[in-house]
Amino acid sequence: MESNPTYLPVVAAAIGPDGDGRWLMHRRPEGKAHAGLWEFPGGKIDAGEGAREALVREIEEECGLSLDPETMREAAFAADDPRGGTRARPILLLLYHCPRWSGRPISREGGEWQWFAPHRIAQLEKPPLDRQLCARFFG
């Protein structure tokens, strides 16, 4: 069977817990898809890139945190149904638990960064696939 080149591969990070049991979320800036909604931070995997490598790059670009790729663990995934959605390319969103990092988040690309307890993350307005990841990751 041939592989499926249709999906757009996207990685996302569950960064935490911090000393207070909180996790880092990103609020998407105005002018982008899902503006104003809170997501697990991350982005698209470039051609030829590994998932952990892409996550380290995206998080560094967006907020300056350095993630430790050695301690990252696959945590959950969510995918669009290729026939159900209206967009040309369905998303395959891979969530990694990232328990070790260094630095403090600063907004480098216009989004907002905040640490939240899991019950607060459940209440945030999120894009559809992040809602699924939240339910799967925090239960």
Ligand X SMILES: Nc1nc2c([nH]c(=O)n2[C@H]2C[C@H](O)[C@@H](COP(=O)(O)OP(=O)(O)OP(=O)(O)O)O2)c(=O)[nH]1
Q: Which residues bind ligand X (CB under 6 A)?
A: 10, 12, 32-33, 39, 43-44, 91, 93, 127-130
With helix as H, strand as E and coil as C, how does 110-124 read?
Answer: CCEEEEECHHHHHHC
- Would you call 45 helix, strand, or coil by DSSP? coil
Decide whether 43 or 69 has the Cβ nearer to ligand X: 43
Smaller CB distance to ligand X: residue 21 or 109?
109
89 and 135 Cβ atoms separated by less than 8 Å: no
CB of 39 to ligand X, least distance (A): 4
Question: Do 6 and 90 meet the contact criterion of CB atoms below 8 Å apart?
Answer: yes
Nearer to ligand X, 1 or 47 (CB): 47
Record the tokens describing residue 48, joined without a space: 């030829």
- To ligand X, the closest distance from the beta carbon of 29 in angstroms equals 9
* Shortest reach from residue 109's CB to ligand X, in Å: 8
Residue 29: enclosing H or E segment and its boundaries? none
